Amino acid sequence: MAIKTFRGHTPTFGARVWVDDSAVIIGDVEIGDDSSVWPLVAIRGDMHRIRIGQRTSIQDNSCLHITHASTYKPEGHPLEIGDDVTVGHMAMLHGCKIGNKVLVGMGTTILDGAVIEDEVIIGAGSLVPPGKRLESGYLYMGSPVKQARPLSEKEIEYFQYAGLNYVKLKDEYLAEAEAAGDA
């Protein structure tokens, strides 16, 4: 894995975090306990901060970035991702805020200033426009994203399952790396 210091900030990791060797993590990035970063992920905290919570999975080929502070947007937009979040393959997260227990579908793009409340599912291939707020307890789909329907109890229970499933998988990767002397 490529862990790079930039502007005096070095990425930091909580306990039992798995980061694939092909991932690149730069600058002001903090990743919480039991989270995982899978192959070919780029996380660039080069001009603002990125915070990723606990038991959160950032899956293959995803790109995480921020909006820098400027005269256009003096405070910029950091990227904040809560606990128990599953970010599907090839997602693009840019300067947004994602709450806890969220499923971001594969190939989804979430843009600057968007806020995703807790317990939300975003369907694969969706586009969340700048500044859009997605209310807790719903499935959202489309480009641009629209509220599709309330989540079922089974879907709400799935957040716990998904998070723990990726914790278990990353623990297997950590154990194999340790056994091979790579940890």
If you ran DSSP here, which 8-state letter would residue 171 be given?
H
- Which pLDDT value is given to residue 183? 64
Reported as a single tens digit per residue, the pLDDT across 74-104 is 899 999 999 999 999 999 999 999 999 999 9
Q: Residue range 59-66: average pLDDT?
A: 98
Question: How many domains does the structure of the chain reveal?
Answer: 1
User: Cα separation of 90 and 108, whole Å?
Assistant: 7
Neighbouring residues of 79: CB distance < 8 A, sequence distance ≥ 6 = 45, 48, 49, 50, 51, 64, 65, 66, 93, 94, 95, 96, 97
From 61, 12, 43, 19, select the one nearest 183 (Cα to Cα): 19
- Which pLDDT value is given to residue 170? 96
Global pTM reads 0.96
- Structural domain that includes position 33: 2-179
CATH code at position 99: 2.160.10.10
Is the pLDDT assigned to residue 52 strictly greater than 70? yes
Q: Residue range 34-48: average pLDDT?
A: 97
Is the pLDDT assigned to residue 1 strictly greater than 80? no
Prior bond of 39 cis (ω within 30°): no
Q: Residue range 38-52: average pLDDT?
A: 97
> Amino acid letter at 133?
R
